[in-house]
Structure 1
Amino acid sequence: MCTKKKREMRLGLINLMICVFLVTSNLGLTVALTNNSSQIKNICEFPAIFNFGDSNSDTGGLTAVYGQALPPNGQTFFGKPVGRFCDGRLVIDFVAESLGLPYLSAYLDSIGSNFSHGANFATAGSTIRPQNTTITQSGYSPISLDIQYAEYYKFYKESQVVRNQGGVFEELLPKEGYFTRALYTFDIGQNDITAGYKLNLTTEQVKASIPDIINQFAKVVRGVYAQGGRSFWIHNTGPLGCLPYMLDHFLLTAAQVDEFGCASPLNEVSQYYNSQLEDIVTQLRRDLPLASITFVDIYSIKLKLITQAKRHGFEKPLVACCGIGGKYNFNNTMRCGSTEIVNGKEILVAKSCDNPSKRIIWDGIHYTEAANKWIVDQIMKDSSYTNPSIPLEMACQKLN
């Protein structure tokens, strides 16, 4: 009898535990579903992207003015040169893809362009501060960030006047409401740092120029905000000391080269610039109360890729895929796509490596499509690279 009672009590206890488990499991499921539903509601539906930058995000601005990029640029994805200094897609292209938007047309390219979902004001060689040289003297674009903003302002003011004429203009230009709801992306600053070094400034002199560079950057962000821009996605600059064109330019001592072959002084300046940029972003959040500003640590992502290349399926991280000669397969006078006349025939001499998908650096300055995709994949799957920690599709949410 005693044994029977114990058995019944044990069964009752087991049944109670099962009930508790089922209730808590269902409760957890309900909470999870509720959280997911809330998250889905908070996903931003960006109707357009307006991009400002340099060659890291130029989709045809510079080539619209100075002539198309040479083959083999574009070979991997587009099958031909399409205004990008890369074998295929850039980071901005993958960002557009992830948001379900078409690739951005360059503002300066009037032939066959469609601006219904945004425009790209970036040009290769652009700096934040205006340069007091011509492009033939220094290689830097005259279309600095202030000029890019002037282009944007003109586009913002005049696009609706033209669009209201109806017909094809309605299909090629953004709706008026898109400007406030758009994502504004910035990837610029690399050339401001390298310009100082090319003028033979010391590292301390380059650092001294950075506060003014940052202030001019902030001025443009404020300008876009004044025109109704609310969602900003800002990239810092990458590890310049790991790029072949910079490594080839400097005579470095052994003490200045780190264990991965990168130039430590150049990377330190990049980090200093990035810290100043992050500080101004913090200030902009205070000053622009309706803005959602996301700071993206591109530096850490690119450094991780370069220093852990083999682990991630890449090889020769400091050697250009497309180029000719030297330790880094880079020659500043014969860049990717350069040709020579041999026996009366034009021969491509600065050509692509056999497998760009295994390489990080495309032409000594820019990254390959494979590297660009890897970079965006890290941003998408690891929110620790963004401040605030927020996925791209929720970058309109003000969490700061």
Structure 2
Amino acid sequence: MAFTSSSWSFTSCFVILQLLWSGNQYANGCYTTIISFGDSLADTGNLKQLASVTNRVISVLLPPYGQNFYDQSNGRCSNGCLIIDFLAESLGLPLLSPYVIDKGSDNVRELGHGVNFAVAGATALDSSFLEPRGILNGITNSSLQKLIEMGAQTLVVPGNLPIECHSSYLTSFILMSLSSTLTTTMMPCKSTGSPNKFGFTNGALKACCGGGGPFNYNLLAECGYPNTSVCDRPYTYVSWDGIHLTEAAYRLISKSLFQGPYTTPGLIPCALH
């Protein structure tokens, strides 16, 4: 089981990746299947399918989301690929398909090379399914224990991103400062490292897509809705929409997690190209 060094909290973005080992050779001969549980950081289309049933209009399902992905209507909360995509690519596996696939039906994808249960906002199964089964709190160690009891041998449990540095949080603190004694020196995010070093010439705080303001984030004009704009070079930004990151940022994070020293213990060496 591998854990990142980031602190864990009940407000964290909960993502579990289960890697299944197989003796059969596939790609690099290590893992043949990925099972993903999580939220918008790993959703590859579940929210899109669920929204289509109720005909809901959700900002993250509108352009310019997915503009740099080969299928722009993919349902990912970014301009392109997510960490889960880069993991599959590193393992030589196809990109994960969402658990929910058909509008208004109960069909689900067979396991195959893997399946993605992650859905933006929470779990792919709503409370009407979970509560009668006694599952009242989705963020709990019992879920990990259950996966281990079912035979899982390699689990990747990421910690939380520095959400206090997200454009949405910083904007909220600015609004608070207008009606209180809070000052910019009390802002929660005081250091962002050296984003320029990694090619993020537009920094780590301002969103690429948004409705204006100091950090280009406006709760009343979120990315995807009218009266918003998108930057010309997303790869020079860390933040995509003030909440989610750009493909470039996710690529860098994936390399750090799966090829760098930030996962303890590290993944099996042969599992990564």
TM-score, normalization by structure 2: 0.72
- 1:120-135 counterparts in 2 under 5 A? 120-126=116-122
Q: CA–CA distance in 2 between the matches of 1:142 and 1:334?
A: 29
Would the alpha carbon gap of residues 229 and 389 (structure 1) be closer, same or farther in structure 2, given more than 3 Å must change? closer
Secondary structure at 2:122 match in 1: coil
Cross-structure match for 1:270: none
Matched, 1:64 2:44: no
Cross-structure match for 1:80: 72
Matched, 1:368 2:255: no
Please state how far the C-alpha of 1:126 moved relative to its aligned partner. 1.4
Letter in 2 for 1:331: N
Please state how far the C-alpha of 1:216 moved relative to its aligned partner. 4.4
Cross-structure match for 1:257: 187
- For residues 45-90 of structure 1, what are the alpha-carbon distances to aligned partners after superposition, in whole Å with 9 as ceiling and x for unaligned? 1111000111001111112111470011111122512010100000
Which of 195, 198, 213 is equivalent to 1:309? 195
Secondary structure at 1:246 match in 2: helix
Cross-structure match for 1:325: 212
Is the CA contact (8 Å cut-off) linking 1:380 and 1:392 kept in structure 2? Answer: no
Is the CA contact (8 Å cut-off) linking 2:170 and 2:187 kept in structure 1? Answer: no
Q: CA–CA distance in 2 between the matches of 1:392 and 1:143?
A: 37
Secondary structure at 1:307 match in 2: coil
Which of 334, 358, 366 is equivalent to 2:221? 334
Query: What's the % identity of the aligned pairs?
Result: 35
What count of residue pairs does the alignment treat as equivalent?
A: 221
Secondary structure at 1:232 match in 2: strand
Is the CA contact (8 Å cut-off) linking 1:104 and 1:115 kept in structure 2? Answer: no
Secondary structure at 1:354 match in 2: coil
Secondary structure at 2:209 match in 1: coil
Please state how far the C-alpha of 1:142 moved relative to its aligned partner. 7.2
Letter in 1 for 2:97: S
Answer 1 or 2: higher relative contact order, Cα 8 Å, separation at least 6: 2
Q: CA–CA distance in 1 between the matches of 2:126 and 2:194?
A: 35
Cross-structure match for 1:355: 233
Please state how far the C-alpha of 1:367 moved relative to its aligned partner. 0.5
Which structure: larger Rg?
A: 1
Q: CA–CA distance in 1 between the matches of 2:79 and 2:257?
A: 21
Letter in 2 for 1:247: L
Cross-structure match for 2:15: none
Is the CA contact (8 Å cut-off) linking 1:323 and 1:351 kept in structure 2? Answer: yes
Cross-structure match for 1:45: 30
Is the CA contact (8 Å cut-off) linking 2:45 and 2:98 kept in structure 1? Answer: yes
Cross-structure match for 2:143: 220
Please state how far the C-alpha of 1:143 moved relative to its aligned partner. 4.1
Q: CA–CA distance in 2 between the matches of 1:88 and 1:376?
A: 14
Cross-structure match for 1:386: 263
- 1:283-294 counterparts in 2 under 5 A? none
Structure 1 runs not aligned, ≥5 long: 1-42, 128-140, 151-211, 265-302, 340-348, 396-400
Q: CA–CA distance in 2 between the matches of 1:309 and 1:114?
A: 41
Secondary structure at 1:48 match in 2: strand
Would the alpha carbon gap of residues 116 and 388 (structure 1) be closer, same or farther in structure 2, given more than 3 Å must change? same
Please state how far the C-alpha of 1:390 moved relative to its aligned partner. 3.8
Please state how far the C-alpha of 1:394 moved relative to its aligned partner. 4.8
Would the alpha carbon gap of residues 87 and 392 (structure 1) be closer, same or farther in structure 2, given more than 3 Å must change? farther
Secondary structure at 1:72 match in 2: coil
Q: CA–CA distance in 2 between the matches of 1:391 and 1:356?
A: 32
- Identify the structure with the greater helix proportion: 1
- For residues 209-236 of structure 1, what are the alpha-carbon distances to aligned partners after superposition, in whole Å with 9 as ceiling and x for unaligned? xxx97x9421111112222222111101
Is the CA contact (8 Å cut-off) linking 2:258 and 2:266 kept in structure 1? Answer: no
- For residues 264-291 of structure 1, what are the alpha-carbon distances to aligned partners after superposition, in whole Å with 9 as ceiling and x for unaligned? 6xxxxxxxxxxxxxxxxxxxxxxxxxxx
Q: CA–CA distance in 2 between the matches of 1:240 and 1:328?
A: 14
Is the CA contact (8 Å cut-off) linking 1:64 and 1:109 kept in structure 2? Answer: yes
Secondary structure at 2:49 match in 1: helix
Secondary structure at 2:157 match in 1: strand
Q: CA–CA distance in 2 between the matches of 1:392 and 1:50?
A: 20
Cross-structure match for 1:103: 95
Q: CA–CA distance in 2 between the matches of 1:362 and 1:85?
A: 9
Secondary structure at 2:68 match in 1: coil
Q: CA–CA distance in 2 between the matches of 1:103 and 1:114?
A: 14
Q: CA–CA distance in 2 between the matches of 1:118 and 1:308?
A: 36
- For residues 252-308 of structure 1, what are the alpha-carbon distances to aligned partners after superposition, in whole Å with 9 as ceiling and x for unaligned? 5334226xxx2x6xxxxxxxxxxxxxxxxxxxxxxxxxxxxxxxxxxxxxx8xx421
Structure 2 runs not aligned, ≥5 long: 1-27, 53-57, 177-181
CA RMSD of aligned residues (A): 2.9
Is the CA contact (8 Å cut-off) linking 1:60 and 1:82 kept in structure 2? Answer: yes
